[in-house]
Amino acid sequence: MSHRLMDEFLWCDFTGLLDDEMADTDGYGRVVDWAARARGTNPRVFDMLTAWLLDDAQWGNERLVENERILMQEVLARFREQNARLRTYLSALSPSGVVNTAVFPALDRFDAALSGVIHDTRLQEAVTRMFADFSVMQERSIRVLIAGQKTGPTGTDSVDTYGYINMLKDCDAGVQWTLFMPVVVERQQKGFKVESFEYLNMPAMRFIGRSGDDLSDVNVRKQLFSVLDDLNEYRSDFSHDILFMHHYGLGVDVGPQHHVWGRFMQANTPVPDGFLYFDLVPYHDGKVGPPYISQFAYAIFSGDVQAMHQCEGYDCDAMYDVTRNIMLSQGVSIPYPGKYWIAEVFLAGCDKPSTAYLFSAEI
CB under 8 Å to 65, separation ≥6 — which residues? none
pLDDT value of position 3: 59
Confidence bin at 20 (pLDDT 50/70/90): low
Q: Which of 232, 209, 212, 242 is nearest to 350 (CA)?
A: 242
Residue 249 has pLDDT above 80, yes or no: yes
Rounded to whole angstroms, the Cα distance separating 144 from 163 reads 7
Instruction: Report the pLDDT averaged over residues 199-207.
Output: 98
Render pLDDT for 308-317 as a digit per residue (tens, 0 to 9).
999 999 999 9
Confidence bin at 263 (pLDDT 50/70/90): very high
Decide: 299 and 196 in contact? Cβ < 8 Å: yes
Start-to-end CA span in the chain (Å): 39
Q: Where are the domains of the chain?
A: 3-188, 194-360
pLDDT value of position 6: 80
Query: CA torsion angle for 227, 231, 237, 240 (degrees, to 10)?
Result: 10
Kindly list the distances between the CA atom of residue 361 and the CA atoms of 8, 179, 274, 298, 336, in Å, as whole numbers in the listed order: 32, 20, 29, 10, 9
Lowest mean pLDDT among 23-27, 147-151, 347-351: 23-27
CB under 8 Å to 254, separation ≥6 — which residues? 158, 247, 337
What share of the chain in percent tops pLDDT 90?
93
Instruction: Report the pLDDT averaged over residues 203-230.
Output: 98
- CATH code for residues 194-360: 3.20.80
pLDDT value of position 246: 98
Confidence bin at 154 (pLDDT 50/70/90): confident
CB under 8 Å to 260, separation ≥6 — which residues? 207, 209, 210, 211, 243, 244, 245, 246, 276, 278
Render pLDDT for 53-82 as a digit per residue (tens, 0 to 9).
999 999 999 999 999 999 999 999 999 999
